[in-house]
Structure formats: structure tokens, C-alpha cells
């Protein structure tokens, strides 16, 4: 209130405030970070709603994502075109879900999307194998991987169709108190 | 853009009848989303779709009622207020960047230890504030007599022995500070508090002094139990079958706060290890189920035998502490040597450092699964640590209590206790003070004289031995036990040494930086990483045990042991608790007194006990009924889903037979590109045959 900035109109800032967990200052800081990623693509003036995307290869270089084995999946889940190129709206969305104030259900929805590699709204065995491969960087033997996948399906599949639907996933996550540590960052912006 | 299509579609639907069943389902979905009470920010849709929903929920042109507008305004103000207060708290959030750095480099398990340190420091500071505001400030306000030992009128006492002349003066002063003797006439110790007799109009400092340790302990107890219960509910609520051990490990184990390459590698390694261990445990459980009865009996016997051996070792260690304390108390007053003065803290530390090594070695001799090994070792370490502190206090009190209030002083002379210059509370307070200081300096010594040289030697020397030795591991459980032991000592000393919490918080402040330096420079993280949630539960549990170990002696002393005649606030009472009835008699009317006496009597507590037992029975039977209900619901879910897929197959077969062009099978992923992707977070999209009752999340 009262600080003169020429990046967004007041209405745009209000919209962002309503649709994310950030306030005005945070949105401006986010825009600064977005601009830093690609200063020659991202305009400083967003008042006319320019359509600008930053490619995935730049976003996954950010220090928050660099060491994360799921970085491509995270960025792809939030992008509108599915390829990982984020507009500023997607960027704000992503950090809003990752921040501390986001509720568990919201994080669970996006976690499901992240782990669903083939985008069929089910986590099937192939998705599990890919997840394990990224988590353990092939330190497990093949038969161990298969055993683990079988065990996961056995434990978590409630409706017996051989793959995890969102309801199964959410039920399993609800029993893990550690879940809030996933998709969670306590960084200053 | 896709969302604009959606907007047009939603406005068009008022004019034209929906084209297909898919459209109807789509409209229903949109309606459902718009009518939920979920906050806009918490919806899992893209920004443009959220704006659409916002627009649909509150169209611009419609006039909202005065109540709605006021509510919205109030919510905004409330949100801003919360933001501002969070930012202010952030300024007071000590060490936030340090914690962030540690979490990024080593993961949240080790970070939780440092968060625990901060929590304990704040706890101690609050305790000190409570004590000082209830006791010290009123004392100063009421212009009480200066702190110091009372004039003894009835005993002929020799003057205190002169210190040995060959020690230099500075040595002497420093020495006296470390043993607490220089400070024994200050407000640090119990003996120097003075107050006139109780009156009904003045603020009763005695009552405040008595009640402030009890209040602090009670508040700590409530806070710790509250934090513990939050973690407990998730862990133990469901039986073994329903606990998703491996599946939650797959989805929940990656730590999204990690930012460095080494930490990521370590985390990956530890995750692989965890999977391997889980698979091994599975195999082992299967094997055990196939064992004969004889083998099982033999295993049980060996387990019990191992525990008995370790228990005997613990008892041996504790008796060593008892004898060491007794021995050192005999020669208390001679400024002999470092060894005797600090003998009991030394023995305690020796026992507590050797013990875990022995336990670990013994436990590894048997071939137990890794989880059992770790839990067993941890359990015995906790038992050893807390019981050694308990025994230390008990042996101190033995000496003190045996010798106070006795007319025949002959047997106590050699112990140094006589009526003249002894205040047994002061000596207990001094012992605890020495223990506190010793612990702190021991921690410093370990950090700078053992870990640092080890790192230097390992880094600069080459050779099989040094490679095998490696840098020291940063073991979270061991460090937590140390810090909880320190906190237990502080709690034990609340009555005898009221300013001890201040000292402890200063020590914890420096401990944080020393530990951080040790972790970042001289240590390597252990390959078995601590999960953050089980860590918090473990910390709270051990803290609670320490609290119990500290409160039981305190309650016993307050209620039954007569205090010294010469010093302190309670010199004329048979037990410190007697102040309370006296204060009540002075200040309260007889009817109010009767009410209080009723609350303390049996006729009040028996009905309460019966009521509590009834409530517990009801809760237990309710949880049993819930478990049965969960089983039944899972079976129902299975049947319903199977039925659903049967119907889908039947339907697609029928449609194919009737030659319908529109396939009603579940939509393939490629055809979904025409819809905004973000409206289907995990549910099959509208358009695939489903009835609402199956997939309605009912939120």
C-alpha cells in the first residue's frame, strides 16, 4: 500500500494475493527472481499481461531445484503447456504450493501429479519404477526394485486395481506425518 | 487459451442445451468447485482457472450483501495482521539462517536437533523470567535484608577455615567460582534468600519461591505432552497391517530442502539403505513366522538374557556413581585437587560415555534386525543417563538429609556437615551447579580436543588406520541425550539454585555455535539418517522422562524433608510445603479454606478417578469399533471398484456391439489436450463414464 511500483497494476496484485499465499511484497520479490532467470526475455512491465515463458532448462538451474531428482517433473506439473515452460502465473503458482502456508491437501494433489510420469491420473508400476530410479540413482538391484514396487502397490492400493489412484495416494499420505516435509521449503524468498 | 474456452462454454450453456453427457458432467464439476468453501488459494488449479472460479463465485456486477463485504474486509485485515506479526516474529527468530544452512547441507533430521536446542534455550529463558518476576523483583521491591547467611546466635561456631596459603589469589577466586563457593551468598543459591515472617497483607515471597519451580515444571510438562501427542497420533493409531511403511518411504523420503550435491548423494545413499533394510526385515519376518516353537523360545531367552546383562551393567555403573559421590562428599571442604572436587561429575561422564559403547558392542553380538539393535541401544542409553542423574541426586540427598536437623553431630563432622555453617540445600545446589559447568566444559573439550585433532589427523595423514577411522560421525541421539541430561539437571536444581536456568540458557547459546562449527567442519553425517518426525517424537519423549526424573525428588523434598535451620526461606517450617496451609490460613476466609481442603482430600479424588477410568474404557471401546469399521469399509471399497470395472466392460462391449462411434471407454491421455489440464488433478476427467457417488470426494 503506497509504494510506487510500475510492474503490476493494483488489480493484478490483488488477483495474485487472492489466488496465492503471498502478499504484495512477496509477489514483487518473486517477479524479481523470475526476471533474474532470463533478463532478456522477461519484461519488467507486466501491466499489459505479456505472454512470456521461461524455458525449463533455465528454471531447473535455480538453487532450490538443482539437486532435486524430481525437478523436471515439478516444473512440468505446474506448466500450462505440459512441457515445463513457465509463465509468471505458473511461477507464482509453483512457489505458492511449495510455501509453508499451503495446506496438506493442496500439496498432495500436486505431489500426485509429480509422481505420475505418464499423466494418466494413476500411479502405475512403471511410474513407481521411474520414481525409485530417481530416488536411489540405481543403487538398488533390479529384483529389489521390483520387490519394492510390488510391496508399495500391495500396501497402498485400496481398490485393488493394481495401480494407485488419487484416493489411494491421499489415504497413504494422510498416514505419514512426514508428508509436510515433501513439497516444502522454508526458504526466504 | 484453454481457460477462455471454458469461460465461453460456461456462458453459452445458459443459452443452448448441453451437447453431450460429457458437457453435463463438466458443468457439474465446475458447479461443484464453485460452491465448495475451500479457499481460493488452496485449490489445485492454475492461476487463470482460479481467477475464473473467483469470477464465478462472486460475479463483478452482483451486489454482495453488507455482511459479505464486511466479512471480506475483515478477512483481509486479519490476513495483513497475521503477516505483520509473522514478520515481527521472524526478526526474533533466532538463528533462522543458520538452521536453514544446516538443513540444506545435512537434511532436516540433523536440523531438528538444532531446532530442539533453540527450543530448550527459549524454555530456560522463560523459566528464568518467571522466577525472577515472581521472586526476585518482589524481593528487591520489598527492600528485604541483604542476602547472606543468618547470624547464628545459639551455636558456638568456629570461624571458617582459612584457605591454604600457597594458592595464588586469582586461582582461588576462579576456583571458588567453579565450585560455587564464591557465589554461595548471592541469589544464585537457595541459602541466601531471606524474608521476614509471613503476614497476610504482604506479597508472600515464600509462596512464590515454592510455587514457581512447580509451575515451571507443570508448564513444561503440558507443553511437551502436547507436542508429543501430535506426533503420536499418526504413528500408533493404526495396526501394523494398515501402516504404509514402504510406500510412504517411496513418496515421502526425499527432503526438498536439500541444496548441496554432497547432501543429495548422502540422502540417496541413505534412502537406498533404508529400502534394503526394509526388504531384509520383510524376509526376516517371513522367516520368523516359519520358525519352530523351540527356536522361538531360544530367541526369546537370548533376548531376555542380553537385557539382563545390560541391566546389570547399568546397575554397576550407577553404584559406581553412588560411591564416588559419597567419597567426594567426605572431603568436600578441602580445596584439595581437581580430582576430588569434580569426582562425581567425572564418574558420571565416564559411565555415560563407556556405557553406550559397551551396549552397542553387546547388542551387535546377537544377530538382531538393525531397527531392533538401534532401538535397544537407544533405550538403554536413555535409562543409563537418567538413572545416573537420579542416583547422583539421591546420594547427595542421603548425605544431606542424614546430617541435618540432628542433635548429635558427631557422626556428621567428618562429612563436613554441622549445624554451624552448613546449609544442605546450598551444597546440593552447588553440586548441581558444578555438574552443569562440568558438562559444558566437557562438551567444549570433546569438540576441541578430540574431534578437531581427529579431523586434522585424518585429513593430513594417510594410512589404513586413518582412512578406517575417518571423521567423527555426528550422532543425533547421543547429542540429544546430552542436552536433555543438562536440562534435567537444570530442572532438578530449580529449587536449590533458582538462577540456574539463566546459566543453562547461556551455555546452550554457546553450545549451538560450537556444535554448528563441529558439524560443518569436523564431522560427517552418519549413514543412517534420522527421520525428522520420529526424531521430534523421540526428543519429546526423552525430555518428558527427564522431567519426571527431576520432579519426583523435588516433590518429595518439598513435602517431607525439613529444611536447614540456618538459611533460606523455610527455616522455621517442618517442610517447605507447610507454607501453603499457613498462607491460606492467614489470607483466606474459613469457608474458602474448607473448599481448598476438600479439593485436596480423598472424597474429591476418588470420584474423579472413577470418572477417568470410565472415560478411558469408553475411548478404548470406541477405537476398537473404529478399527472394525475401517476393515469393513476397505472390503466394501474393493467390491465397489470391481463392480464399477465390470460395468465399464459390459457397457463398452454393448456399445461396440451396437456400433456406436463414440467410444465410452476411459479417455486416452491424448484427447484431453482440448480441456484445461488443471481441472483434473488426479480424478478421471469428466467424459469417462463414472457415477458421481464413486468418485465424489465429498470434501
Q: Give the tens place of pLDDT for each residue, B450-469.
A: 888 888 888 888 888 888 77
Closest CA of chain B from A116, distance in Å: 9
- Under a CB-based contact definition with an 8 Å cutoff, are residues A24 and A17 in contact? yes
pLDDT tens for each residue of B24-54: 777 787 788 777 777 788 888 888 888 888 8
pLDDT band at B60 (very low <50, low <70, confident <90, very high): low
Residue A20 sits in the same domain as residue A88: yes
Q: Answer whether A178 sits within 8 Å of B252, measured CB to CB.
A: yes
pLDDT band at B609 (very low <50, low <70, confident <90, very high): very high
pLDDT tens for each residue of A128-168: 999 998 888 777 888 888 988 988 888 888 777 888 888 88
Within-domain flag for A83: yes
Within-domain flag for A59: yes
Q: For residue B215, list its beta bridge partners.
A: none
Considering only CB atoms, which chain A residues are within 8 Å of B642? 160
Q: Mean pLDDT lowest for which of B157-171, B268-282, B564-578, B581-595?
A: B157-171
Query: What ipTM score was computed for the predicted complex, to two decimals?
Result: 0.87
| Predicted local distance difference test score (pLDDT) of residue B610 | 95
Residue given cell 580436543 in the structure block: B449
Mean pLDDT of the region A182-186: 59
Domain total in chain B: 1
CA distance B145 to B153: 18
Q: Answer whether B681 sits within 8 Å of A158, measured CB to CB.
A: no
Residue given cell 553387546 in the structure block: B362
Q: Select the residue of B79, B234, B260 nearest A175 (Cβ to Cβ).
A: B234
User: Which three three-digit cell numbers place residue A83?
Assistant: 512441457
Which residue in chain B has the smallest CA separation from A107?
Answer: B44
Within-domain flag for B45: yes
> Is residue B333's pLDDT more than 80?
no
Mean pLDDT of the region B503-508: 93
- Integer Rg of chain B from CA: 34
b/e string for B187-216 if b means 16 or more Cβ within 10 A?
Answer: bbbbbbbbbeebeeeeebbbbbbbbbbeeb
Q: Which residue has the higher pLDDT, A112 or A2?
A: A112
Residue A40 sits in the same domain as residue A55: yes
Number of neighbouring beta carbons within 10 Å of residue B143: 6
| Predicted local distance difference test score (pLDDT) of residue A46 | 84
Assess A177–B contact: CB distance below 8 Å, yes or no.
yes
Within-domain flag for A150: yes
Considering only CB atoms, which chain A residues are within 8 Å of B260? 67
Burial of A2 (0-12, 13-18, 19+ CB in 10 A): exposed
> Is residue B514's pLDDT more than 90?
yes
Q: Which of B682, B694, B695 is the best substitution to test chain A (most A C-beta atoms within 10 A)?
A: B682
Residues in chain B: 699
Q: Select the residue of A96, A119, A120 nearest B41 (Cβ to Cβ).
A: A96
Q: How far is CA B397 from CA A75, B184, B322, B554, in A?
A: 64, 18, 11, 11
Q: How far is CA A53 from CA A19, A86, B308, B336, B572, in A?
A: 20, 5, 68, 78, 82
Within-domain flag for B564: no
Q: Which of B96, B118, B256, B645 is the best substitution to test chain A (most A C-beta atoms within 10 A)?
A: B256
Within-domain flag for B465: no
Within-domain flag for A163: yes
Closest CA of chain A from B221, distance in Å: 23
Considering only CB atoms, which chain B residues are within 8 Å of A20? 41, 47
Q: Mean pLDDT lowest for which of A169-173, A181-185, B385-389, B551-555?
A: A181-185
Closest CA of chain B from A57, distance in Å: 18
Considering only CB atoms, which chain A residues are within 8 Å of B110? none
Residue A108 sits in the same domain as residue A173: yes
Q: Which residue has the higher pLDDT, A20 or B194?
A: A20
| Predicted local distance difference test score (pLDDT) of residue B592 | 83
Within-domain flag for B34: yes
Considering only CB atoms, which chain B residues are within 8 Å of A78? 46
Residue A108 sits in the same domain as residue A94: no
User: Which three three-digit cell numbers place residue B588?
Assistant: 483466606
Closest CA of chain B from A181, distance in Å: 7
Within-domain flag for B616: no
Within-domain flag for A52: yes
Residue A159 sits in the same domain as residue A81: no
Burial of B475 (0-12, 13-18, 19+ CB in 10 A): middle
Residue given cell 484453454 in the structure block: B2
Closest CA of chain B from A40, distance in Å: 24
Mean pLDDT of the region B403-422: 48
Q: Answer whether A18 sits within 8 Å of B684, measured CB to CB.
A: no
CA distance B523 to B455: 8
Q: Answer whether B272 sits within 8 Å of A140, measured CB to CB.
A: yes
CA dihedral (B652, B653, B656, B658) in degrees, to 10, reads -110
| Predicted local distance difference test score (pLDDT) of residue B501 | 92
Mean pLDDT of the region B213-222: 90
Tell me the residues of chain A between 29 and 48 that have a Cβ less than 8 Å away from chain B.
none
Assess A49–B contact: CB distance below 8 Å, yes or no.
no
| Predicted local distance difference test score (pLDDT) of residue B533 | 56
Mean pLDDT of the region B482-493: 90
Domain total in chain A: 2
pLDDT band at B625 (very low <50, low <70, confident <90, very high): very high
Q: Which of B88, B87, B93, B95 is nearest to B111 (CA)?
A: B95
Q: Answer whether A18 sits within 8 Å of B54, measured CB to CB.
A: yes
Residue A14 sits in the same domain as residue A93: yes
- The domain in which residue A30 lies consists of 10-98
Closest CA of chain B from A39, distance in Å: 23
Considering only CB atoms, which chain B residues are within 8 Å of A18? 40-41, 54
pLDDT band at B512 (very low <50, low <70, confident <90, very high): very high
Q: Answer whether A185 sits within 8 Å of B103, measured CB to CB.
A: no
Which residue in chain A has the smallest CA separation from B43?
Answer: A106
pLDDT band at B696 (very low <50, low <70, confident <90, very high): very low
Within-domain flag for A82: yes
Q: For residue B523, list its beta bridge partners.
A: B472
Q: Which of B244, B261, B642 is the best substitution to test chain A (most A C-beta atoms within 10 A)?
A: B244
Q: Which of B676, B699, B567 is nearest to B5 (CA)?
A: B676
Residue A92 sits in the same domain as residue A115: no
Q: Which residue has the higher pLDDT, B104 or B54?
A: B54
Residue A89 sits in the same domain as residue A111: no
Q: Which residue has the higher pLDDT, B413 or A27?
A: A27
pLDDT band at B576 (very low <50, low <70, confident <90, very high): confident
- Round the average pLDDT of chain A to a whole number and report it: 84
Which residue in chain B has the smallest CA separation from A98?
Answer: B256
pLDDT tens for each residue of A82-130: 788 888 988 998 888 888 778 888 888 888 888 999 888 889 999 999 9
What is the pTM (predicted TM-score) of this model?
Answer: 0.73
Residue A152 sits in the same domain as residue A75: no
User: Which three three-digit cell numbers place residue B39?
Assistant: 479457499
Considering only CB atoms, which chain B residues are within 8 Å of A64? 259
Give the contacts of A66 (CB within 8 A, at least 6 positions apart). Answer: A60, B259
| Predicted local distance difference test score (pLDDT) of residue B624 | 92
> Is residue B121's pLDDT more than 50?
yes
pLDDT band at B5 (very low <50, low <70, confident <90, very high): very low
Q: Which residue has the higher pLDDT, B575 or B244?
A: B575
The three-state secondary structure class of B572 is coil
pLDDT tens for each residue of B628-649: 998 898 888 888 888 888 898 9
| B16 phi/psi in degrees, rounded to 5 | -110, 150
CA distance B240 to B473: 33
pLDDT band at B240 (very low <50, low <70, confident <90, very high): low
Considering only CB atoms, which chain A residues are within 8 Å of B279? 144, 147-148
Which residue in chain B has the smallest CA separation from A181?
Answer: B255
Within-domain flag for A51: yes
Q: Which of A63, A4, A100, A15 is nearest to B89 (CA)?
A: A100
Task: Report the percent of chain B where pLDDT is more than 90.
Answer: 9
CA distance B322 to B253: 45
Considering only CB atoms, which chain A residues are within 8 Å of B532? 178, 181
Task: Report the percent of chain B where pLDDT is more than 70.
Answer: 74
Mean pLDDT of the region B280-286: 80
> Is residue A63's pLDDT more than 70?
yes
Considering only CB atoms, which chain B residues are within 8 Å of A105? 42, 44
Q: Answer whether A67 sits within 8 Å of B681, measured CB to CB.
A: no
Q: Which of B273, B277, B244, B475 is nearest to B368 (CA)?
A: B277
Residue A93 sits in the same domain as residue A112: no
Within-domain flag for B36: yes
| Predicted local distance difference test score (pLDDT) of residue B344 | 78
> Is residue B167's pLDDT more than 60?
no
- The domain in which residue B49 lies consists of 30-57
What CATH number has the domain bearing residue A138?
A: 1.10.238.10
| Predicted local distance difference test score (pLDDT) of residue B532 | 56
The three-state secondary structure class of B93 is coil
| Predicted local distance difference test score (pLDDT) of residue B462 | 81
Residue A93 sits in the same domain as residue A110: no
- Under a CB-based contact definition with an 8 Å cutoff, are residues B570 and B576 in contact? yes
| Predicted local distance difference test score (pLDDT) of residue B165 | 43
Q: Select the residue of A135, A159, A182 nearest B256 (Cβ to Cβ).
A: A182
> Is residue B254's pLDDT more than 90?
no
Last residue of a domain, one of A98, A123, A145: A98
| Predicted local distance difference test score (pLDDT) of residue B531 | 58
Last residue of a domain, one of A98, A131, A165: A98
Considering only CB atoms, which chain A residues are within 8 Å of B83? 23
Within-domain flag for A1: no
Q: Select the residue of A63, A113, A186 nearest B681 (Cβ to Cβ).
A: A113
The three-state secondary structure class of B688 is strand
What's CA B341's distance to the chain center, in Å?
33
- Round the average pLDDT of chain B to a whole number and report it: 75
Closest CA of chain A from B501, distance in Å: 30
Q: Answer whether A19 sits within 8 Å of B40, measured CB to CB.
A: yes
| Predicted local distance difference test score (pLDDT) of residue B408 | 44
Considering only CB atoms, which chain A residues are within 8 Å of B634? 158
Tell me the residues of chain A between 58 and 97 that have a Cβ less than 8 Å away from chain B.
63-64, 66-70, 78, 80, 82, 89-90, 92-93, 96-97
Q: How far is CA B223 from CA B306, B312, B537, B541, in A?
A: 36, 35, 13, 12
Last residue of a domain, one of A71, A98, A125: A98
Q: For residue A86, list its beta bridge partners.
A: A54
Q: Answer whether A137 sits within 8 Å of B268, measured CB to CB.
A: yes
Q: Answer whether A172 sits within 8 Å of B54, measured CB to CB.
A: no
Considering only CB atoms, which chain A residues are within 8 Å of B40? 18-19
Mean pLDDT of the region B507-536: 79
Q: Mean pLDDT lowest for which of A174-183, B9-18, B173-182, B435-444?
A: B9-18
Most confident of B401-410, B418-427, B520-529, B609-618: B609-618
Q: Answer whether A152 sits within 8 Å of B246, measured CB to CB.
A: yes
Chain A, chain B: beta-carbon pairs less than 8 Å apart:
195
Within-domain flag for B47: yes
DSSP-derived letter for residue B256 is T
| Predicted local distance difference test score (pLDDT) of residue B200 | 66
The three-state secondary structure class of B475 is coil
CA distance B452 to B611: 58
Q: For residue B474, list its beta bridge partners.
A: B525
Assess A141–B contact: CB distance below 8 Å, yes or no.
no
Considering only CB atoms, which chain A residues are within 8 Å of B48? 89
Alpha helices in B237-337 (DSSP H): 245-252, 261-289, 293-330
Q: Select the residue of B2, B41, B250 nearest A128 (Cβ to Cβ).
A: B250
Which residue in chain B has the smallest CA separation from A61?
Answer: B259
| Predicted local distance difference test score (pLDDT) of residue A166 | 87
pLDDT band at B107 (very low <50, low <70, confident <90, very high): confident
Q: Select the residue of A70, A182, A186 nearest B252 (Cβ to Cβ).
A: A182
Amino acid at each position: 500500500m503506497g509504494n510506487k511500483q510500475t510492474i503490476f497494476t493494483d488489480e493484478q496484485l490483488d488477483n495474485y494475493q487472492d489466488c496465492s499465499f503471498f502478499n504484495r511484497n512477496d509477489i514483487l520479490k518473486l517477479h524479481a527472481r523470475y526476471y533474474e532467470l532470463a533478463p532478456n526475455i522477461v519484461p519488467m512491465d507486466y501491466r499489459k499481461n505479456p505472454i512470456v515463458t521461461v524455458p525449463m532448462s533455465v528454471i531447473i538451474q535455480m538453487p532450490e531445484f538443482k539437486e532435486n531428482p524430481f525437478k523436471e517433473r515439478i516444473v512440468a506439473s505446474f506448466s500450462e503447456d505440459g512441457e515445463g515452460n513457465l509463465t509468471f502465473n505458473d511461477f507464482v503458482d509453483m512457489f505458492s504450493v511449495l510455501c509453508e502456508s499451503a495446506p496438506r491437501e493442496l500439496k498432495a494433489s500436486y505431489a500426485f501429479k509429480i509422481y505420475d510420469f505418464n499423466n494418466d491420473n494413476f500411479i502405475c508400476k512403471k511410474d513407481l519404477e521411474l520414481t525409485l530410479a530417481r530416488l536411489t540413482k540405481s543403487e538398488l538391484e533390479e529384483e529389489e526394485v521390483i520387490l519394492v514396487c510390488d510391496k508399495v502397490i500391495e500396501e497402498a492400493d485400496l481398490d485393488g486395481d493394481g495401480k494407485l489412484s488419487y484416493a489411494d495416494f491421499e489415504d497413504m499420505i494422510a498416514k505419514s506425518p512426514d508428508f509436510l516435509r515433501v513439497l516444502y521449503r522454508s526458504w526466504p524468498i | 487459451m484453454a481457460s477462455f474456452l471454458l469461460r465461453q462454454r460456461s456462458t453459452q450453456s445458459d443459452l443452448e442445451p448441453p451437447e453431450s453427457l460429457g458437457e453435463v458432467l463438466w458443468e457439474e464439476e465446475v458447479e461443484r468447485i464453485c460452491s465448495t468453501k475451500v479457499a481460493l488459494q488452496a485449490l489445485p488449479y492454475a492461476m487463470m482457472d482460479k481467477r475464473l472460479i473467483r469470477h464465478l463465485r462472486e460475479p463483478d456486477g452482483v451486489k454482495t450483501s453488507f455482511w459479505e463485504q464486511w466479512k471480506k474486509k475483515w478477512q483481509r485485515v486479519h490476513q495483513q495482521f497475521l503477516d505483520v506479526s509473522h514478520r515481527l516474529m521472524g526478526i526474533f527468530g533466532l538463528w533462522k539462517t543458520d538452521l536453514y544452512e544446516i538443513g540444506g547441507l545435512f537434511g532436516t533430521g540433523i536440523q531438528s536437533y538444532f531446532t530442539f536446542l533453540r527450543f530448550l534455550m527459549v524454555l530456560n529463558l522463560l523459566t528464568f523470567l518467571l522466577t525472577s518476576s515472581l521472586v526476585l523483583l518482589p524481593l528487591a521491591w520489598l527492600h528485604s535484608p541483604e542476602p547472606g547467611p543468618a547470624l547464628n546466635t545459639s551455636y558456638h561456631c568456629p570461624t571458617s577455615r582459612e584457605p591454604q596459603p600457597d594458592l595464588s589469589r586469582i586461582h582461588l577466586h576462579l576456583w571458588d567460582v567453579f565450585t560455587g563457593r564464591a557465589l554461595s551468598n548471592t541469589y544464585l543459591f537457595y541459602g541466601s534468600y531471606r524474608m521476614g515472617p509471613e503476614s497476610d497483607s504482604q506479597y508472600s515471597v515464600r509462596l512464590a519461591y515454592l510455587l514457581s519451580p512447580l509451575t515451571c515444571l507443570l508448564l513444561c510438562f503440558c507443553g511437551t505432552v502436547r507436542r508429543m501427542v501430535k506426533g503420536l497420533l499418526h504413528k500408533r493409531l493404526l495396526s501394523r497391517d494398515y501402516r504404509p511403511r514402504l510406500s510412504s518411504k517411496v513418496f515421502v523420503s526425499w527432503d526438498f530442502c536439500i541444496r548441496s550435491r554432497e547432501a543429495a548423494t548422502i540422502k540417496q545413499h541413505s534412502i537406498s539403505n533404508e529400502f534394503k533394510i526394509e526388504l531384509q526385515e520383510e524376509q526376516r519376518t517371513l522367516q520368523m513366522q516359519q520358525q519352530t516353537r523351540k527356536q522361538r523360545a531360544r530367541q526369546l531367552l537370548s533376548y531376555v538374557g542380553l537385557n539382563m546383562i545390560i541391566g546389570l551393567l547399568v546397575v554397576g555403573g550407577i553404584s559406581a556413581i553412588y560411591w564416588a559421590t559419597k567419597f567426594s562428599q567426605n572431603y568436600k571442604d578441602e580445596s584439595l585437587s581437581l580430582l576430588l572436587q569434580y569426582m562425581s561429575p567425572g564418574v558420571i561422564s565416564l559411565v555415560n560415555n563407556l556405557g553406550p559403547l559397551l551396549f552397542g558392542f553387546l547388542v551387535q553380538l546377537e544377530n538382531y534386525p538393525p531397527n531392533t539393535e538401534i532401538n535397544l541401544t537407544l533405550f538403554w542409553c536413555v535409562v543409563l543417563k537418567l538413572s545416573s542423574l537420579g542416583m547422583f541426586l539421591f546420594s547427595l540427598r542421603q548425605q544431606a538429609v542424614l546430617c541435618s536437623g540432628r542433635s548429635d553431630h558427631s557422626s556428621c563432622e567428618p562429612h563436613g556437615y554441622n549445624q554451624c555453617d552448613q546449609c544442605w540445600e546450598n551444597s546440593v545446589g552447588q553440586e548441581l551447579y558444578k555438574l552443569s559447568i562440568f558438562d559444558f566444559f566437557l562438551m567444549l573439550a570433546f569438540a576441541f580436543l578430540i574431534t578437531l585433532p581427529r579431523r586434522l589427523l585424518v585429513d593430513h595423514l594417510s594410512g589404513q588406520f586413518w582412512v578406517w577411522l575417518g571423521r567423527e560421525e555426528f550422532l543425533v541421539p547421543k547429542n540429544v541425550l546430552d542436552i536433555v541430561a543438562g536440562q534435567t539437571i537444570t530442572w532438578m536444581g530449580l529449587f536449590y539454585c533458582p538462577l540456574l536456568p539463566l546459566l543453562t540458557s547461556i551455555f546452550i547459546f554457546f553450545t549451538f555455535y560450537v556444535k554448528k562449527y563441529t558439524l560443518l567442519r569436523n564431522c560427517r553425517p552418519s549413514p543412517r539418517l534420522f527421520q525428522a518426525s520420529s526424531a521430534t517424537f523421540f526428543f519429546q519423549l526423552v525430555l518428558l522422562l527427564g522431567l519426571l526424573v527431576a520432579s519426583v525428588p523435588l516433590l518429595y523434598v518439598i513435602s517431607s524433608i525439613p529444611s536447614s535451620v540456618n538459611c533460606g526461606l523455610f527455616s522455621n517450617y517442618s517442610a517447605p510445603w507447610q507454607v501453603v496451609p499457613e498462607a491460606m490460613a492467614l489470607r483466606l476466609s474459613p469457608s474458602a479454606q474448607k473448599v481448598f481442603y476438600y479439593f485436596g482430600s480423598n472424597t474429591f479424588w476418588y470420584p474423579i478417578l472413577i470418572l477417568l477410568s470410565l472415560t478411558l474404557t469408553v475411548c478404548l471401546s470406541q477405537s476398537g469399533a473404529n478399527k472394525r469399521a475401517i476393515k469393513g469399509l476397505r472390503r466394501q471399497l474393493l467390491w465397489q471398484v470391481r463392480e464399477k470395472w465390470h460395468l465399464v466392460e459390459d457397457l463398452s462391449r454393448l456399445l461396440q456391439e451396437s456400433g456406436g462411434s463414440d467410444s465410452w471407454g476411459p479417455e486416452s491421455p491424448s484427447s484431453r489436450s482440448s480441456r484445461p489440464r488443471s481441472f483434473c488433478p488426479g480424478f478421471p476427467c469428466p467424459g469417462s463414464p463414472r457415477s458421481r457417488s464413486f468418485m465424489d470426494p465429498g470434501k
